[in-house]
Amino acid sequence: ELPASVTVWEVGPRDGLQNEKAIVPVEVKLEFLDRLAGAGLTTLEATSFVHPKWVPQLADAEQLLARLDRREGVRYPVLVPNEKGLNRALDAGVEHIAIFASATETFARKNLNSSLDEQFAMFEPVVTRAREAGLDVRGYLSMCFGDPWEGVVPAKQVAAAGRRLLDMGCSQLSLGDTIGVATAGQVENLIGLFGDVGTLAVHFHDTYGQALANTLAALRCGVSTVDASAGGLGGCPYAESATGNLATEDLVWMLEGLGVATGVDLDALVGASVWMAGQLGRPSPSRVVAALCPP
């Protein structure tokens, strides 16, 4: 039994561009966002209010939001790690934030400069204050299946960390396969440890080519929000071996075939990704982009 429709949570402008070696000009980011909205995507993760030295690619978050032409019916969530980031996001007028935790000790250190426990202490006041201000808060959880330093991550450990984010007040929990090592059985098993599938989203990277299979497994478990990155851009600068996310085109192609509604115009989306690939100077790694728009 598959959901009748899926919400595609587009992370290309954030997860994709945070990993580009070159700094993409703010004008290009703005046009990318506009083209993605034009293709019918209604959730565009726009940028991050993290330390600019940690992610210089997104240091222009204030400029980007100041110049963003917000479209009716489109939400523009941003990543926020701490209260400093929340203050910046509130000043920029955001309505939707995402905090991002790690399921493992090592990645909490590498990505957030904190321990597994300390990260929750850092997020707690962020979530409380954000909700008081009327913002919606998503919780990401990274390294849900495997970690480059710790190996296979026990599902119980992941479920416990995820529950802490939900209990803290996150309205949605996105389960991240940060380095793209998960296989479908692991996905089913982890989702089975959560009572309310309605609060879950999945976030797959495609390092081992498993992202679509994993997505289908999650859909069959009742998950109906799927993260993806236009053209398959991305990776994580603090996670060794992470490649791009599941390409939004690959996701939409599969969902169209399955008769699951997304509201996305695939041709317009491919056009946006091909345009962005031109800006970045290399072809999109998405198989669907390559098939529909051969060079």
Binding site for ligand HMG (CB under 6 A): 15, 18, 48-51, 54-55, 79, 81-82, 84-85, 88, 100, 111-113, 140, 142, 176, 178, 203, 236, 238
Amino acid at 266: L
14-53 binders of Mg ion (CB under 5 A): 15
Half-sphere exposure of 281 (CA within 13 A, CB side): 5
101: tokens are: 């935790």
CB of 178 to Mg ion, least distance (A): 6
CB of 110 to Mg ion, least distance (A): 14
Q: Is 221 noted as a catalytic residue in this protein?
A: no
Residue 186 vs 274, nearer CB to ligand HMG: 186
Give, for 137, the enclosing helix (H) or strand (E).
Answer: strand 136-142
Complete DSSP assignment for 153-213: PPHHHHHHHHHHHHHHT-SEEEEEETTS---HHHHHHHHHT-S-GGGEEEEEB-TTS-HHH
CB of 240 to Mg ion, least distance (A): 14
CB of 130 to ligand HMG, least distance (A): 13
Residue 94 vs 233, nearer CB to Mg ion: 233
Number of residues that bind Mg ion (CB under 5 A): 1
What whole-number distance in Å separates Cα of residue 170 and Cα of residue 199?
A: 9
The answer for residues whose C-beta is within 8 angstroms of residue 22's C-beta and 6 or more apart is 280
From Mg ion, ligand HMG, none, interface partner of 55 (C-beta below 5 to 8 A by class): ligand HMG
Catalytic residue among 144, 170, 221, 236: 236
Which residues are identified as catalytic?
Answer: 236
